[in-house]
Structure 1
Amino acid sequence: MFKTPNRHHSYGVGMTAEHLISRAGAPLLTVVGQVRPDQLTSPTPCTGYDVRQLINHLLFWGPSLEGAGNKEAVPPPAEAESAMDLTKGDWSGDLATQVQRTIAAWTTSEAWQGTTRMAGPDELPSALIGGMVATELVVHGWDLGTATGQQPSWDDEVLEYVHQEVAGHAEWGRQVGSYGPEVPVAATAPLLDRILGLTGRAVS
């Protein structure tokens, strides 16, 4: 069972989760802007996804994550993710725009209050979904960066927050297929490594 994240946890002077979301997403935006077309077939640490498929995944679910922040239920496309190719055309610009829209939706305090919906009919705590959004930005930013020879980094406040979120809902994430089996990581390892281990990623 996962713990509901606490939006009011202090991450610094006057710092709450809505103040961290843009800092969680900024490295992903930098990575996306530097992915070359010839790298689209490169494998990523996200099991089963190459770079193109991971970009497609982010484009597929992005509107739903944005909608959740705006308290709007935006279901994903009816067609299966694996059957769609959203990377035609300006995939880099499209993904950057979607990430920016998702970040903007979660930078208001209202986004983190009460409940919201993402893909299904069930209402879930908004702070839980917001924590998952921040985790997606960091972990998939690392996935894409690693796959394309980049080294994105996040400040300690962001990593502390994301680690708290992942630790609270990792088991649930594994049950619904979002995370792979936990990869053991030393308790003294860097925060990013511990986050990645909880989501099933091996850090070499």
Structure 2
Amino acid sequence: MTNAISDLLRTASERSVPVVRGIADDRLGDPTPCAEYDVRQLVDHLYQVVVNFQALATKKDADFSREAAFVGQGDWRAGFAEETAALVDAWAAPGADQGVTGQMSMPAPLVGRMALGDLTVHAWDLARATGQEYTPDASVVGEVLEAFGELAPTARKMGVFGEERPLPDGGEGATDFDRLLALTGRDPQWQRP
């Protein structure tokens, strides 16, 4: 039996895994729209998110304090795909989307949507940084936009989100994904230098 979160994670992974697979080794030092990370660091961060949110799905604690270093470890692209599939499976388990998570003590559905948001937004970061095409699924964007709207004030205080960016032309013609990127402090028009 699956639940909405696992279905959304599966949809998001079908679009994010190809982006990670498409990262060439000579792009790993390039900047990303996520200013504190270059491509290598952002892949490591996203990999860590994917692994840790598997534990959170099972109501176990996750360790976000360790420095992530997955890139360069064997076939890390295939490893990311495998861990992302494991993330989907973890959130498909009965009860994963119920109750509260480990040390985060947050409602499980919201935590699942946090993982969904990272997978979606960071795939865009990586695609932009490495010159790849990326279009997230509209249903995923809708779920993440709602969840991140709720989380944004706390996420900004914790330094997880930057200040919300204004949209060009007052948001006229902006997509929901543009709004999501701006909400997280990103410039939807960001281009590689």
Cα distance change of structure 1 residues 49 and 73 upon mapping to structure 2, 3 Å threshold: same
Unaligned runs of 5+ residues in structure 2 are none
Please say which of residues 108-117 and 188-197 is displaced more in the overlay: 108-117
Cα distance change of structure 1 residues 142 and 23 upon mapping to structure 2, 3 Å threshold: same
Residue 149 of structure 1 corresponds to 131
Residues 32-71 of structure 1: pairs in structure 2 closer than 5 A: 32-71=20-59
Residue of structure 1 aligned with 2:11, choices 15, 18, 23: 23
Matched residue type, 1:151: E
Unaligned runs of 5+ residues in structure 1 are 1-14
Matched residue type, 2:70: L
Tell me how many residue pairs correspond in the alignment: 183
Matched, 1:159 2:141: yes
Residue 69 of structure 2 corresponds to 85
Residue of structure 2 aligned with 1:99, choices 74, 78, 84: 84
Deviations 1:30-74 (A, max 9, x none): 101111111111111112111101111123333211111122223
1:109, CA displacement in angstroms? 5.1
1:26, CA displacement in angstroms? 1.6
Matched residue type, 2:80: L
Deviations 1:117-171 (A, max 9, x none): 2xxx342211121110110010001011111111211222111111111111111
Give, in whole Å, the separation in 2 of the partners of 1:107 and 1:59. 19
Matched, 1:129 2:114: no
TM-score (norm 2): 0.86
Residue of structure 2 aligned with 1:170, choices 152, 159, 163: 152
Give, in whole Å, the separation in 1 of the partners of 2:180 and 2:7. 20
Cα distance change of structure 1 residues 50 and 116 upon mapping to structure 2, 3 Å threshold: same
Give, in whole Å, the separation in 1 of the partners of 2:188 and 2:105. 35
How many percent of aligned residue pairs carry the same amino acid?
Answer: 33
Give, in whole Å, the separation in 2 of the partners of 1:112 and 1:188. 34
Matched residue type, 2:106: L
Residue 114 of structure 1 corresponds to 99
Residue 4 of structure 1 corresponds to none
TM-score (norm 1): 0.82
